[in-house]
Amino acid sequence: MNMVNISSIYPVKDNYEFDFDYYLNKHMPMSIELLSRSEKFIKVTVERGVDMQNPEIKSSFVAMCHYYFETLEGFMEVFGPNAEKLQEDIKNYTNITPVIQINQVEISK
């Protein structure tokens, strides 16, 4: 299956703030509702850096969100009209500017 991964990655920075409750219960449901409207949508995963739960481990990232679509065009058709709304909401849960990474998935099992 052809697949692309669009990731929002939140790197650890000095004095960062990240409201996981808001992110998981407000932002992500809104984001999923808007972006899963594409027929090309496959799935989404959200990951939290391990050191949030174990201070002996230092993660490089606070959180990562990975959207999977059959095509980049499938993502863009739903992201484009909703980009401003989704990006405007970032300030409600973090002071981190996310790094966006787009990949062609080569192996998925």
Model confidence at 53: pLDDT above 70: no
pTM, two decimal places:
0.91
Residue 54: what residue type?
A: N
CATH class of the domain defined by 4-104: alpha beta
| Sign of the torsion angle spanned by Cα atoms 66, 70, 73, 74 | negative
58-81: pLDDT as tens digits: 889 999 999 999 999 999 999 999
Instruction: State mean pLDDT over 17-37.
Output: 98
Q: What is the mean pLDDT of the chain?
A: 94
Decide if 100 contacts 32 (C-beta within 8 A).
Answer: no
Which residue has tokens 């201070």?
Answer: 55
Decide if 96 contacts 10 (C-beta within 8 A).
Answer: yes
